[in-house]
Amino acid sequence: MSDGGASEATTPPPTAGLVDWLRLVRIPLVVTAISNSVTAYLIAFESPKPGPTFPVTGPAGTTVSLTADAIVLDAGRQSASLPWVGLTLALVSSCLYLAGMALNDFFDRRRDAGLYPGRPIPSGKIPPATAFLAAATLLLVGVGASISIGAIPTVLAVFTVGAIFAYDGVLKRWAVPGSIAMGACRLGNGLLGVAAAYAVARGYMAESFGVESIELSLASVPPAFLERVRANEIPEALATVRPVLAPLAAFVFVTLLTAVSTLEDRPAPGGVLIALGAAMALVCLGAAGASAHPLAAFVALGPLAVLCIVFALRGARMGTDRGGAGKMVKWMLRSLLLLDAGLLFGAGLWAWALLPVGLYVPFLLLARIVGPPRPPPPARS
């Protein structure tokens, strides 16, 4: 029964809005995950692996030596499903990335309560169980979508899920294993693109010629396809690397960048940042040298290598204990799009190189929408 006094005021629990959910999943950087997988997807069609060769005489009388995978991939570029698989690949990458970011904050919720109380989970806007459920749903959607591409892409999607849980749940406590685990997430995402290219190509061969392997029916392939693909006069080891060049570059680049991020919460000599920046620059130059068109790749990736050194020098000058490492991470995360653009340019896909550059537009728009979390209002006396 009420005594007629004023009832004690209760503060309603904070509620999550759309912006809070976008902050939870770090929405602006989702474009880098899409760019990584789609870049690998496109380059794979231009970079057939070495294999059994067949002498083929084209309409002009010229004889070329073609690998089985070269013919299959070149034929696959004519597939009507190529753009749709590309869109599905973007969906898979998006789901896996967004889930990984949500799981990152889920596992870090106790640490963030002291260091970043304004984040969606420690602030109480998004309950931990709700965040985990959302992440699990995204993972299921991502893996489910990969099934529509093929068996190997599905296996790689599951591998990426495992790498996400390994990093978020366990390995990020240690600098080296955590950095490698984060790089493995990007590696799995990129290999998804490579596997998707082969799935499209072999599916097209099966539909058009009744075979998935060119060894079974070389004569059934139209001469126009054969003329467009010539044997790579390069060492076999380099030919083996080219189809997976984009995933490998992303793996090493992100591994090094994650190592930089481990220095955000503790002081470290500036030379460490410079060394990591120099290593990232070497990744860019090494990827350029392994590209199908090295000169074009050096033109595109050379400036990025310089930026790696410049940002490392800036971070070292600031000092890791004064935010130098954090600033370097912020700068270099955006450069993942430039890395993909340079790889596409080096593969001879001049027009497609504009795709990662164009993704800067949604990145900037999403970053503006999300913005940094607002600090809580000052307490009134």
Q: Is residue 366 part of a domain?
A: no
Domain of 343 in residue numbering reads as 234-356
What are φ and ψ of residue 81, in 5° steps? -85, -5
User: Which residue, of 199, 231, 263, is where some domain finishes?
Assistant: 231
Q: Is residue 368 part of a domain?
A: no
Number of structural domains found in the chain: 2
CB 355 within 8 A of CB 50: no
Q: What pTM does this model have?
A: 0.82
Do 196 and 106 share a structural domain? yes
Do 77 and 219 share a structural domain? yes
Q: Is residue 346 part of a domain?
A: yes
Do 56 and 188 share a structural domain? yes
Any idea which residue has 């130098």 for tokens?
A: 324
Q: CATH number, domain at 123?
A: 1.10.357.140
Residue 80 in tokens: 């009507």
Do 294 and 312 share a structural domain? yes
- Over the stretch 132-174, which tens digit does the pLDDT of each residue have? 999 999 999 999 999 999 999 999 999 999 999 999 999 988 9
Q: Is residue 34 part of a domain?
A: yes
What are φ and ψ of residue 110, in 5° steps? -75, -40
- Over the stretch 167-191, which tens digit does the pLDDT of each residue have? 999 998 899 999 999 999 999 999 9
pLDDT (mean) for 200-215: 59
Do 217 and 173 share a structural domain? yes
pLDDT (mean) for 220-241: 46
Do 226 and 245 share a structural domain? no
- Over the stretch 260-317, which tens digit does the pLDDT of each residue have? 988 877 777 778 889 999 999 999 999 999 888 899 999 999 999 999 999 989 888 8
Do 96 and 155 share a structural domain? yes
Q: Is residue 6 part of a domain?
A: no
Smallest CA-to-CA distance from 189 within 137, 143, 134 is with 143
Do 84 and 70 share a structural domain? yes
Q: What was the pLDDT predicted at 345?
A: 94
Do 318 and 298 share a structural domain? yes
Indicate whether 224 pLDDT > 90: no
- Over the stretch 276-290, which tens digit does the pLDDT of each residue have? 999 999 999 999 998
User: Residues with Cβ < 8 Å from 169, sequence gap 6 or more?
Assistant: 103, 107
Q: Is residue 109 part of a domain?
A: yes
Do 123 and 34 share a structural domain? yes
Do 144 and 272 share a structural domain? no
Q: What was the pLDDT predicted at 330?
A: 84
Q: Is residue 110 part of a domain?
A: yes
Q: Is residue 4 part of a domain?
A: no
Q: How far apart are alpha carbons 46 and 70 in whole angstroms?
A: 8
Do 244 and 190 share a structural domain? no
